[in-house]
């Protein structure tokens, strides 16, 4: 979660103090909701930059798909904890998403 907080701070120009406080308070009770909101904010920032810079479109599409896949795998891992390799697949999808964030931060 610390990575998401740092990435949100890097992507947003305005002071995210209220967002940070709300995230910190909600995280123990609603971690999926906090992650979803932060991912949504990141996707909006990525989409804005991709609309200005066409060279980011491929990275944005890959990031968007990996984010969706991460959400599905996260829920599946919680619903089906005995199913092998779901958690590993989640880590792979997360690694792809993090890898595409480098393009956004350039």
3-state secondary structure 17-85: HHHHHHHHHHCCCCHHHHHHHHHHHHHHHHHHHHHHCHHHHHHHHHHHHHHHHHHHHHHHHHHCCCCCC
Which pLDDT band holds residue 29 (cuts at 50, 70, 90)? confident
pLDDT tens column, 53-97: 888 889 889 988 998 998 899 899 989 989 999 999 999 998 888
Q: What is the pLDDT of the chain when averaged over all its residues?
A: 80
For residues 37 and 23, what is the distance between their CA atoms, to the nearest angstrom?
Answer: 9
Sorted by sequence, the CB contacts under 8 Å of residue 12 that are 6+ apart come out as 19, 41, 45
Maximum separation of any 2 CA atoms in the chain, in Å: 44
Residue 1 confidence (pLDDT): 47
Which pLDDT band holds residue 47 (cuts at 50, 70, 90)? confident
Residue 10 confidence (pLDDT): 55
Enter the tokens of residue 104: 């956004």
* The pLDDT of residue 105 is above 90: no
- What pTM does this model have? 0.72
Is pLDDT larger for residue 101 or for residue 71? 71
Residue 79 confidence (pLDDT): 93
For residues 22 and 54, what is the distance between their CA atoms, to the nearest angstrom?
Answer: 34
* The pLDDT of residue 5 is above 50: yes
């Amino acid at each position: 979660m610390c990575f998401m907080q740092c990435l949100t701070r890097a992507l947003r120009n305005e002071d995210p103090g209220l967002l940070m406080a709300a995230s910190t308070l909600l995280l123990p009770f609603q971690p999926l909701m906090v992650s979803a909101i932060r991912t949504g904010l990141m996707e909006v920032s990525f989409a804005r930059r991709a609309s200005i810079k066409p060279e980011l479109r491929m990275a944005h599409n890959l990031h968007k798909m990996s984010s969706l896949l991460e959400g599905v795998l996260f829920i599946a891992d919680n619903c089906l904890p005995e199913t092998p390799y779901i958690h590993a697949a989640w880590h792979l999808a997360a690694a792809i998403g993090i890898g595409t964030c480098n393009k956004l931060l350039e």
